[in-house]
Amino acid sequence: MATKKSGGSTRNGRDSKGRRLGVKIYGGQLILQGSIIVRQRGTKIAPLSNVGVGKDHTLYALINGTVQFSYDKVNKKTYVSVI
């Protein structure tokens, strides 16, 4: 007699890879034109001056400069700009 129950098929084993979202360049760091600042789903962080938005809500620099994050307490929203 077998000491182990037979294997059978499993319903597990399917998991997608992480999407590598998040902030790529932090406040105060230098950035080159076209470099990605934030990869996100939806506009959790909104663009201000010299920041472009991709079709997947990715924020990127339009000019060379320094990244600056700010928070608006009234709207409870984080903004990013390049100066």
Q: DSSP of the chain, one letter per residue?
A: --SS------S----PPP---EESS-TT-EE-TT-EEEE-SS-SEEE-TTEEE-TTS-EEESSSEEEEEEEETTTTEEEEEE-
Mean pLDDT, the chain, whole residue set: 92
Q: Is 0.75 surpassed by the pTM of this model?
A: yes
CATH 2.40.50.100 fits 22-82, yes or no: yes
List pLDDT tens digits, range 24-64.
999 999 999 999 999 999 999 999 999 999 999 999 999 99
Domain regions of the chain by residue span: 22-82
pLDDT value for 74: 95
pLDDT band at 2 (very low <50, low <70, confident <90, very high): low
Give the integer Cα–Cα distance in Å for 72 and 52. Answer: 19
